[in-house]
Amino acid sequence: MLVVSLAPAADGAKYASELGVVTSAPRPLNVGLIGLGTVGSQVAERMLSWGPQLSRRAGVELCLQKVLVRDVAKRRTIEISPDLLTADPSEILENPAVEVVMEVAGGDEPMRSYIERAIHAGKHVITANKVVMAKHGPELLDAAAGKNVDVYFEAAVGGGIPLISTFRTDLQANRIERVSAVINGTTNYVLGRMASAGLPMADAVREAQEAGYAEADPSDDIGGFDATYKLAILASIAYEIKVRPDEIYREGIEGIEPVDFRYARELGYAIKLIAHTQRHPGRVEARVHPALVSLEHPLARVEGAENAVFVEGDLVGQVLLVGQGAGGRPTASAVVGDLIDLARSIRRGVQSRPSFSFDDRVGVIPIGEVKTRAYYRIRVDDRPGVLAAIGQVFAEEGVSISSFIQKDAWSHDMTVELVVTTHPSLEASLQKARERMARLEPVHAVSAFLRVF
């Protein structure tokens, strides 16, 4: 019987003879794990508790050889032999017995270097690290191809949702036209609570932290950075081009107020943090920002900390992938799934999935050249001529108005709030209109400027 062993096996042959297994049985696949936190402990736990099943599916015994952590003395949430733990990266990266390195520690350095070292040592890599894959993925994949090893990164985007494997295998016959996603659970939870309970953002963030959906420092999520890393990976994979996070237009959800949800609903929209990429002749569009999403669109119905990715391919049409985008268990599902897939191909001596070849000639369109619709919330003096002045700005910028809402005057300062949505226009014109309106004498503030998706 094949089992997952947590006892180190120096080499497959010795292990096999100790067990009295027939010598023709394949030697175990030795795995080094980097990180034993939220994700890593669930990966180790799955390997411990479900060993025989995993090994049967992999067609080879999976053996956890070493686990790299920062602090070997730290109390762990799972029971694990202290002998397995190390704080010395070379015990994994330079260990000739280790064939696969699973990195679930996170952050750019030293993890990028560790992954590079593993590849150069001829080891396959599985990583959940979106920062490393977004910033350095194409180079690491090129290096891996040069060493005839593979880098798997299903868990780096969308936690447990099978995204990378879907692009890498099931959608291979397609030219991907666009990918639109709600890909950050924290912001989706926060926006959802602002919409349903009318909470100010600070309160919704605090609630998300208490519920375990937001980090103590939530700025990566709220500022749209996390979604940008994920979109960089998705766009690179979808089009086989190198899309860097700093080429993606990014706006966080910081400026949104509870009143925007009321106006949005009145107009037939929800508000979501949208990551969107779309193919254009010779270039691609890639942007992350909050947007009004039609209540009819599936992305408007993504609730709580869930993620959803909407893909359009020329052959398959539209595909929607939905699920838990974070959390130790869903993410471990992706990591261990990668391990089984990789183990099968290693033992068969084949690469089961096509490798990437990135086209350097295709770039990202500057945001000003992108066409989109916009929503403006404007506070103005309640007096004649204001609408005409605002209408003139839009007309001069070539932006045509789609809808318009005006609420009653505020009794104390005689101002009113205007909400304007536009037809599709160049982003540069929409921005220019926003700046010019803010300078008009009767305009107190352009309090909100959002895209309409």
Ligand X SMILES: NC(=O)c1ccc[n+]([C@@H]2O[C@H](COP(=O)([O-])OP(=O)(O)OC[C@H]3O[C@@H](n4cnc5c(N)ncnc54)[C@H](OP(=O)(O)O)[C@@H]3O)[C@@H](O)[C@H]2O)c1
3-state secondary structure of 103: strand
What is the rounded distance in angstroms from the CA atom of residue 327 to the CA atom of residue 212? 9
Which amino acid, one-letter code, is at 183?
I
- Give the closest residue to 255 by CA, choosing from 375, 410, 158, 373: 375
Instruction: Name the residue with the smallest CB distance to ligand X.
Output: 37
> Which residues, including other chains, have CB under 8 Å from residue 120's CB and lie 6 or more apart?
143, 147
Strand-pair partners of 221: none
What is the rounded distance in angstroms from the CA atom of residue 26 to the CA atom of residue 11? 11
Considering beta carbons, is residue 248 or 326 the nearer one to ligand X? Answer: 326
Smallest gap from residue 135 Cβ to ligand X (A): 12
Q: For the chain, what is the radius of gyration of the CA atoms?
A: 25
Considering beta carbons, is residue 34 or 364 the nearer one to ligand X? Answer: 34
Task: Please identify which residue in the block is written with the tokens 């030293």.
Answer: 110
Tokens of 448: 């909100």
Strand ranges of the sheet holding 62-68, from the earlier edge strand across to the other edge: 85-86, 62-68, 29-34, 100-103, 124-127, 151-152
Considering beta carbons, is residue 127 or 422 the nearer one to ligand X? Answer: 127
Residue 230 falls in the annotated catalytic set: yes
Considering beta carbons, is residue 233 or 420 the nearer one to ligand X? Answer: 233
Smallest gap from residue 66 Cβ to ligand X (A): 11
How remote is the C-alpha of 435 from its chain's centroid? 32
Considering beta carbons, is residue 33 or 60 the nearer one to ligand X? Answer: 33
Smallest gap from residue 130 Cβ to ligand X (A): 5
Smallest gap from residue 435 Cβ to ligand X (A): 37
Smallest gap from residue 243 Cβ to ligand X (A): 19
Task: Please identify which residue in the block is written with the tokens 């519920």.
Answer: 211
What is the rounded distance in angstroms from the CA atom of residue 73 to the CA atom of residue 440? 63
What is the rounded distance in angstroms from the CA atom of residue 424 to the CA atom of residue 431? 13
Catalytic residue among 230, 272, 407, 432: 230
Crossing angle (nearest 10°) for helices 185-197 and 258-267: 80
Considering beta carbons, is residue 65 or 129 the nearer one to ligand X? Answer: 129
Chain residues binding ligand X by CB under 6 A are 35-40, 68-71, 74, 104-106, 110, 128-130, 155, 159, 326-328, 331
What is the rounded distance in angstroms from the CA atom of residue 145 to the CA atom of residue 137? 12
Catalytic residues: 230
